[in-house]
Structure 1
Amino acid sequence: MSPRTPHFVSLLLALVALPLVSAVAPKPAHDWVAMFNGKDLSGWKSNEETPGSFRVEDGAIKVADGRAHLFYVGPDGAAEFVNFEFKARVKHMPKANSGIYIHTTYQEKGWPAQGYECQVNSTLHGDPRKTGGLYAVADVRDTAPVADGVWFDYVVRVQGRRIVIEIDGKVTTDWTEPADWDPAKTLTNMPGRRLSSGTFALQAHDPDSIVYYKDLFVRRLP
């Protein structure tokens, strides 16, 4: 076959173009990684502000007693995320109040100063900011989207400046951090409420609050 035949030319062009297609193809999301083994708190670190606030019970993390925070450190102790999708099964009991912090970092005591709190708050707790909201930034007010005492799906997705929260497959919060966002001017006593990078934390809020978490997974997004 002559190298000048149309068939040979077409084949040559296809081979030349192939690397170009691969170079611009979007990177796929990473696989899901289990954050909790259902047996113990390996990969997590409690600040023990109230000792014993976190324990494993029937394959779930039970969050109870006084204020404390349980930080995800991962198998290497240095977990850090920028763009990600997080999912968990959650159950809050009557009068429960908790939260899932994102882009936060370990601290010995107090409410986490860095990152945002994705609210977990039952129907009967007095705080009007309920499950599925971004605390003090984009709140779900007055009525929780799920009942007490039942398991539900909690999903948090962060990509770029956008934060999306879903409860049982329904979007409850879709908020994009403004380019000129200054939480020190916008929020009261929350100057660290901004996207950057960091890890996750589960909140134990007060002695009357009981919340359960299980099936916690995370995957990195491009």
Structure 2
Amino acid sequence: MRKNLPILSVAFFSLLSACISLSAKKQEVLFNGKNFHGWEGDTVKTWRIEDGAITGGSLTEKVDHNYFLCTRKSYDNFVIRLKFKLSGTEGFINTGVQFRSVRAAKPDYEMIGYQADLGDGYWASLYDESRRNKTLVSPDSMLVKKILKRGDWNDYEVRCENRRIRISLNGQQTVDYTEPDQSIPQKGLIGLQIHGGGKAQVAYKDMVLQEL
């Protein structure tokens, strides 16, 4: 038995190395901090890159309608982690992260699908954008008040496994939802939103997606 230990050890570490390598291949940096490679949307007027972050909206001019910056690739089962900072001076200050979503045909600036919502009354909730048009799950307001860093960078995580969706804000889970409607698609684009109707600005950075 003892003579076989070195051989077993080599085989074990080779297998472990292969598993680690496979896991690393599935992890994807969605934003490189420099350009919009892999994304599409209005990168002339609405979306820009400032200090290594994707930034949308304006603090001096009212955003006329919803705008979305979307990945060109679709995803089904994954964990996405990112940082966001939302600020505003007037009107409806709201944003969110779309997932398992598609671009709408009319109006063409909208998206259809799930949204990990952000903004007063919606922080870290799950909304169904341009489909059922309602909040599917709202988190405990006292928990959100305790963990939210207003006007500063916050950590956001969305985990999608089959029909189960979980959302976490700054390390605290706020949503655990399983989709009961079998007709709702469970694959689609990732999108970043700036909501219309207010003088608001959002920034996103450190976006990493791990396929499951």
> Could you tell me the TM-score, scaled by structure 1's length?
0.69
Question: Would the alpha carbon gap of residues 139 and 111 (structure 1) be closer, same or farther in structure 2, given more than 3 Å must change?
Answer: farther
Query: Which residue number corresponds to residue 91 of structure 1?
Result: 85
What does residue 189 of structure 2 align with? Answer: 199
The alpha-carbon deviation at position 63 of structure 1 amounts to: 1.5
Q: Which runs of 5+ in 2 are unaligned?
A: 5-14, 58-62, 128-134
| Partner residue of 1:133 out of 119, 125, 128 | 125
Distance 1:215 1:34, change over 3 A: same
| Cα distance in 2 for residues equivalent to 1:84 and 1:111 | 23
Q: TM-score, normalised on structure 2?
A: 0.72
Could you tell me how far apart the structure 2 residues matched to 1:165 and 1:141 are?
13
User: Equivalent residue for 2:200?
Assistant: 209
Q: Which has the greater radius of gyration?
A: 1
Q: Which amino acid aligns with 1:111?
A: E
Identity of aligned residues (%): 28
Q: Could you list the structure 1 runs, at least 4 aligned residues long, displaced by more than 6 angstroms after superposition.
A: none
- Point out the structure with the larger helix share: 2
Q: Report how far residue 42 of structure 1 moved.
A: 1.5
After TM superposition, the structure 1 = structure 2 runs for residues 34-53 of structure 1, keeping only pairs within 5 Å, are: 34-46=29-41, 48=42, 52-53=45-46
Paired with 1:147 and 1:208, the residues of 2 have a C-alpha distance of: 20
- Paired residue for 2:51, among 58, 70, 76? 58
Secondary structure of 1:171's partner? strand
2:97–2:190 Cα contact (<8 Å) kept: yes
Give 1:197's aligned amino acid.
K
CA 1:102–1:42 in structure 2 vs 1: closer, same or farther (change >3 Å)? same
How many angstroms apart in 2 are the aligned matches of 1:198 and 1:182?
A: 15
Greater fraction strand? 2
Q: Partners of 2:104 and 2:44 in 1: how far apart?
A: 15
Equivalent residues of 2:34, 2:52 under 8 A apart: yes
